[in-house]
Amino acid sequence: MQKTKLIAQAIASAMLTLTLTTIGTQVVQGIENPVSLLRTTCVGSGPGRWRPDTENVAIGRSVYKSLMKLSPSNGSAAVTCRIRPEDSEPRFQTLQLEFGMLDSDTTSPPNTVNIYLDGRQVATRTVTAAQTASLLFNVGNVSNVSIETICASSSEYCGRVYFFKASLERIPEPPRRLRREPQRLTVPEPPRLLVPEPPRRRK
């Protein structure tokens, strides 16, 4: 009975040590990676609207967890996010976007999605009901990301464009150099010289 109790205590102690080690590793490695684009400073512009959104949506007969949505109505909607504060070093290396329109928006005109990096248009995709698109960008030297949706019709209202991925991958930190201790040289002691004793005088 005593032996079983000791084994149980040893297992509990090992599990606690493993948990603390895992938590410590997560803290050392840093905060979340990748980072949601919405964790940066984002500002919308009209006449349509944008807003964060966390509902489950059906696109292409698959369920996705939405992060944000842009509603261009019969015009356009845009959101611009600053991913690199002024006078700071680059923080992110890639941006991945995945978006689409609902399966139920079968009567909606298409939406054109334009992506701008520091004001320069770098990509455009057109999506309709049940369609998705995926884009990947290098943003190592980029400060601002802008996403714009434009309705293909000025007389009919377009359905919303849902973004279910908008993630920024951090630039990996350079490996820390280990501080080398100066090597200590061990100088061997010189061998002892054996001095022969003088011959003893005979009495």
Give the end-to-end CA distance of the chain in Å, rounded to a whole number: 87
What's the rounded Cα separation, in Å, for the pair 116 and 95? 12
Q: How confident is the model at residue 182 (pLDDT cuts 50, 70, 90)?
A: low
Mean pLDDT over 76-105 rounds to 95
Is residue 45 exposed (0-12), middle (13-18) or buried (19+ Cβ within 10 Å)? Answer: middle
Please give the model's pTM, rounded to 2 decimal places: 0.71
Residue 88: predicted pLDDT: 86
Is the predicted pLDDT of residue 180 greater than 60, yes or no?
Answer: yes
The residues near 94 (Cβ < 8 Å, ≥ 6 apart) are: 136, 137, 138, 139, 168, 169
Other C-beta atoms closer than 10 Å to the C-beta of 71 total 19
More confident residue, 32 or 142: 142
